Amino acid sequence: MNITKEQIDPLNAVLKVELSREDYQDKVDNILKDYRKNANIPGFRKGQVPMGLIKKQYGKAVLVDEVNKLLQDNLNNYLTEEKLDVLGNPLPKQQDNFNWEADDLAFEFELGLAPDFEVSLSPKKGIPHYKIVADKKMIDDQVDRIRKQYGKLVSQEVIGSENEVSGNFFNEEAEIDHKTTLELDKIKSKKALGALKGKKAGDTVTLKTKGLFKEDFLLPGTLGIPREKAENLDIEVDFTIAEINKREPAELTQDLFDKLFGPDTVHSEKEMRTKIKEDSEAQFQQQS
């Protein structure tokens, strides 16, 4: 194997990797021998399939896989040994009509190199390091999320104000056909809430997509469409209700504390809040 680097400009280079058959053939042959031992092909006893048939059926796939492994390992080693500061990963250059049957294989990879620069900071002017505090509201919100996450679902006959409603969104023209679960406390549209409340499993309601949620990022996942398609989407979709549930928050018990923090680490709600505050502020310190 031979790897050479061509410097295009200060920020771009091309690596050329040349492989000979000796670099990979032994590994390919050993894998094909293992395939032959275990191959179950009609008309042949196990382990007695002709090697020519094994090569015809699996040879190219094994060759490509082993060459890719060889390229990956040696590229990483080369970048480390040469101490090249690369942005992202090496990008393979497209090679039309590549001949995998050739004795010698050559591949080219484009490199984006990090620029050299210096930042001159005056030692007379300090840079503030902020201490971010987890306040009471933040801790309350986290406790509520935990209790909700570990709570249990109780089936309901009709939709109330804070239910979770499972069902299917459908609009044939927009190619929407997606099963999902709606959390009513995340819906912004008063008209949509009014249409849903009091409905039962099996009912279908028509909802407008524009302004449906308090947070716009919820719409793509709810409808099962790409983010780009959901942006500024203003159509009507049918929602057929399949299941209605109310989530009862989990009790703050020792069993829950052990699940969250490990056995006998936290023993009360007060200790839980202290632990949440400590863990949050440790994370904030790293981010700060």
d(CA 218, CA 186): 9
Cβ neighbours around 137 below 10 Å, total: 8
Torsion region of 255: left, alpha or beta (phi above 0 gives left; psi -120 to 50 gives alpha): alpha
- pLDDT at position 276 is 95
List, for the chain, all residue ranges whose pLDDT scores fall below the cut of 50: none
Annotate 96-137 with DSSP letters as a single string: TT--TTSSEEEEEEEEEBPPP------TTS----------HH
d(CA 81, CA 230): 47
Q: Is 210 helix (H, G, I), strand (E, B) or coil?
A: coil
- pLDDT at position 237 is 96
Whether pTM > 0.85 for this model: the answer is: no
> Between the CA atoms of 250, 255, 257 and 258, what dihedral angle is there, to the nearest 10 degrees?
-140
d(CA 72, CA 3): 12
Structural tokens at position 57: 């059926």
Say if CB 112 and CB 30 are below 8 A apart.
no
In tens, the pLDDT along 140-166 reads: 999 999 998 898 888 999 998 888 999
Domains and CATH numbers, the chain: 2-112 (3.30.70.1050), 152-248 (3.10.50)
| Kind plus residue range of the DSSP H or E element containing 30 | helix 21-38
- pLDDT at position 121 is 76
Torsion region of 224: left, alpha or beta (phi above 0 gives left; psi -120 to 50 gives alpha): left
Q: Of 91, 84, 88, 82, which Cα lies nearest the Cα of 109?
A: 91
Positive or negative torsion for Cα 8, 14, 20, 23 = positive
d(CA 76, CA 90): 10
